[in-house]
Each structure stands twice: as C-alpha cells, then as structure tokens.
Amino acid sequence: MLPVYLLVSHETWTPLVWLFGVTWALGEFVLLVGGESGGLFALLVWVVGLLPPCLGVLVVTTGGELLLRRFDLSNPLRV
C-alpha cells in the first residue's frame, strides 16, 4: 500500500520497482520452502526477518529520488 501511495502522491518510480522486486523475492522464497516447515513459518520469517530491511531499502531509495528531484541537475555547476 505504501509504494502505491508514494507512486500516486509524489510520482516516484522507485517504490514501484521496489514493490516488483520484493514481490518477486517473496514468491521465490515461498516456492523454495518445501513441505518441511509450511506457509506459517515462511510468513513469520518474512514479517520478523525480511520486512524491516526491505522497508529500510524503500525509505532510502524513495528519499534519494525525492532529494534528487529537489536539486536542479540540468545545470549542476550553476553557470
């Protein structure tokens, strides 16, 4: 929900790329878990172990994109 909000409200594209990457990685992770543990264990690992670093990456990349948009990069030397 947060990446879609950032895309719509601030017109940033990095959250959309982040959402695609995280969805793909989670799909691969769930497919790699065999019958030895189950879906509840995979969900617990996702929420406790993988979600905080993924949200950190989202914050850093979106913040970087917003900071780069604030600066005028068309004339970096201001001549």
pLDDT in tens, the chain (79 residues): 788 888 888 888 899 899 898 888 877 877 776 666 666 777 787 788 888 898 899 999 999 988 888 876 777 666 5
Q: What is the residue range of 74's domain?
A: 1-78
Whole-angstrom Cα distance, residue 26 to residue 47?
11
Number of domains in the chain: 1
- At 5 the pLDDT is 86
H or E, element range at 65: helix 51-70
Cβ-defined contacts of 31-40 (< 8 Å, 24+): none
